[in-house]
Structure 1
Amino acid sequence: MGNPEKPSDAVVGAEGEGATTEVESTKEKSTMTMEERKAKLDALRKKMHASSKANRQSLVEESARQKINAREAARLERQRALAETLRTKADAEERGEDIERAKNWEYTIEENDEWEKKLARKKRRADFEFHDDAHAARRRYKKDLDHLKPDLEAYNRQKEIALGLGPGSLITGFNPTQGASSSQLLPTSQQQQLAAENLYRDANTLIYGDNKPTEEAIDRVVGKINRDVDKKSKFSRKRNNEEEGDITYINEHNRVFNKKIARYYDKYTAEIRASFERGTAL
């Protein structure tokens, strides 16, 4: 029966084997030639390139699938709407009804009036010819009204003070006939009286020029003016590189050619051109 090995001897043996393996691998690496290292680097680069190409291909396929799905959903929605329209038309024909009349039953009187006003406004604005300055000014005024957004909150606050109501009464849908009597609606203080005079001004009022606009209102006006100036500059027909004087060209290429010719021959033809302008040329 042999003597058993001590644990310390086993650990030392394992460490010795690991050190020997590391030394051998280091020797193998050191013994690799330059061609082998280059071949290994090329293989790693090819593998990285193939991986990048596969990732990009999968990304392109996923994007194409998403586009196809969205396009397919839109196509199915159009087909569903068309089928529903055809079915409604067929049902109306079977009952002997007018399809347009049946469709108009879906709209209220207010919506119909608004639609007719929109069509009439569109027809009026389709006239782009210049008639006179008053007509052009009116068209401009109507366009500006479309972009006007009144401050209803400030108006309601001023109206509450003028009517003697509590804060937030008009904003929350206050009904004067139900929530308060007529005596409570009349202004009872000097502040309410001034607010009422400011809100409901007539020909007999003596208040004039006391309105102080807010910073937001001033910025809105300045922005509107800047947009108008920018739009006007874009619609200008004047070229920035165009000199003042007679127009002697028919296009940009001809303008450059005439400018080049004038640089060399204007000093010789100045007298002839002056004679043509005076009408005394022979």
Structure 2
Amino acid sequence: MPSRKSKQPKPAAVEASETPEPAAEVAVEEHIADVEPVETAEGDDEASEGSPKAGSEDGGSGGATPKITMDERAAKMAELRAKMRDSTAANRKDLIAEHNKSKYSAKEAARNEKQRRLAETLREAVDAEDRGEDLERRKNWEYSIEENDEWEKRKARKERRADFQFHDDAHAARRKYKKDLDLIKPDLAAYQAQKEAALGLGSSSAVQSFSSGSTSNALTASEHLYRDANSLLYGDNKPSEEAIDRVVSKLNLDIDKRAKFSRKRTNEEEGDITYINERNRVFNKKIARFYDKYTAETRASFERGTAI
């Protein structure tokens, strides 16, 4: 019996000594498992960038992939960001330009241009005054005699055309004739062809043959080309179809204008004139707006002659 009691505690001791070993192994394995992901995470870039083994495993049959360092990646990213900034600035600049273009109309642009030229003129006048120069005299030095004569003619013609009052029928007819002449553009090519046909010359030797020809033939051709009131030639001119169409369109335009013309009469809608000037007309209109409903019967009685 005692021997059996001494033998029974041994298996318990053995079990007690064997049970800590699996717990220690589990703890070590858990510690390794916790540490390994950190090591692999830190080594991924190294394996992908600098490890020849990884390159041989990934592209064993296709060759080694190009190696890109972090500096190259940073430079590429900086380049892309610079392009993005430039494109954003260009798009915003175009957007502002389109907005300003739609904001200002052609009339406003013309007014701004007029103001700019006026500012330049004033600045030139101030600069000339500071230098002690006569601005008008300095500008006149830049014009030739021919340009001055042309300017005087244009100024006189403009003053004559600014007179829209009716003087007599002859004056009105002359104004209409001058206005129609502005719409006629001379056809120099057709005139040159007519001149060559009248003189019997070619286009290249017109002047030379005309000077070397006989005097009598030249005078006859000149008389046929440049006719006056004493010429007996009449009705031999054949206008082109374009010239006929141009005359017909001008006549139709005059007929349409004459049909649509209507002289505006300012007092036609208002009726009787109850004012002596424009200021009095506006005042009477304001008074009528407030008091016509009270004085309409009284005014009607005065007009009928039945007022008390």
User: Which of these two proteins has the greater Rg computed from alpha carbons?
Assistant: 2
Structure number with higher relative contact order (C-alpha < 8 Å, ≥ 6 residues apart): 1
TM-score by length of structure 2 reads: 0.45
TM-score by length of structure 1 reads: 0.49
